Structure 1
Amino acid sequence: MPHIVIEYSANLDEELRPMRLVEALHAAALETGIFPLAGLRTRAERRDLYLIADGDPDHIFIAVSVRIGEGRDAATRLRVAEALMAVLERETAEIVQRRGLALSLDVSEIDGTASLKTNNLHERLKARAKP
């Protein structure tokens, strides 16, 4: 884990390549040193139907949801949130100068009781790393 989901208003495409956000947030999550590479999933979802604040079509939103496995303390979750928000703010610094921009980021734990997974990525990455 984590799973990072970026939701964004369709009009963001006019300002920033969404894949740039995917790559930047993915890298930032790895740089925290908290998450294993094989457990990290980052994706973006464009929202074509949205209404922001007063409905001005010039407004943009980006909402990032980070779902992590159980067991990390509040300080660790906050460190992740702050690291990712810093990247999000950096990547949108020019946009906020010209347009209405709403950014949000939330880190939440997944209740492991009914969270099932099948994953061979850890083994595959280990095998690739061998000479």
Structure 2
Amino acid sequence: MPHIVVEYSANIRERLDPPALVGRLHEAALATGVFPVGGTRTRAAEREHYRIADGHPDNGFVHVTMDIGAGRDLETRQRAARAVFDALVAHTRALFADAPLGLTLELRESDPQLSFKHNNLHDYVKARQAGRERP
């Protein structure tokens, strides 16, 4: 982990560049050194049905949820969340200056007793780093 999920209102798609945002947030999370490459997943979902603030059609939003494994201290969690949030703010700077926009990020810890995983991505990442295609 983390699993980073970006939700955004459909009315900002063209100015948001979701693929670039996904890449930027993913790299920001990895750059913290807190999360393993093989456990990091970032994805975006456009929301077509929404109502924001007073309902004006220009209002937009981007909400990021970071689900992480339990066990990190508060300072580490805050540092990681702030790094990803700062990347979101930087990515949306021009849009924010030009349109009504709400940006939010929430970090949540998974309960280790209720989080199930079956993952061989770590093995593949290590193999690729060693110059091999497969573990």
Q: Which runs of 5+ in 1 are unaligned?
A: none
1:52 aligns with 2:55: no
1:104 aligns with 2:107: no
1:124 aligns with 2:130: no
Please say which of residues 14-23 and 4-13 is displaced more in the overlay.
14-23
Match of 1:6 in 2: 6
Match of 1:30 in 2: 30
The Cα offsets for residues 64-119 of structure 1, whole Å up to 9 and x where unpaired, read as 00000010111111101111111111111111111100000011100011211000
Task: Determine the C-alpha separation between the residues in 1 that align with 2:70 and 2:48.
Answer: 33
Please report how far the alpha carbon of residue 129 of structure 1 lies from its aligned counterpart in structure 2 after TM superposition: 2.1
Match of 2:88 in 1: 88
The Cα offsets for residues 18-39 of structure 1, whole Å up to 9 and x where unpaired, read as 1111000000000000011000
The Cα offsets for residues 7-66 of structure 1, whole Å up to 9 and x where unpaired, read as 000011131211111000000000000011000000001000000000011111000000
SS of aligned partner of 1:78: helix
Deviating beyond 2 angstroms after TM superposition, the runs of 4 or more aligned structure 1 residues are none
Please say which of residues 64-73 and 7-16 is displaced more in the overlay.
7-16
**Which amino acid letter does the alignment assign opposite residue 42 of structure 1?**
T
Match of 1:42 in 2: 42
Aligned length: 131
Task: Determine the C-alpha separation between the residues in 1 that align with 2:98 and 2:126.
Answer: 45
Task: Determine the C-alpha separation between the residues in 1 that align with 2:85 and 2:117.
Answer: 28
Q: Which runs of 5+ in 2 are unaligned?
A: none
Task: Determine the C-alpha separation between the residues in 2 that align with 1:67 and 1:78.
Answer: 13
Match of 1:19 in 2: 19
Percent identity (aligned) = 50
**Which amino acid letter does the alignment assign opposite residue 53 of structure 1?**
A
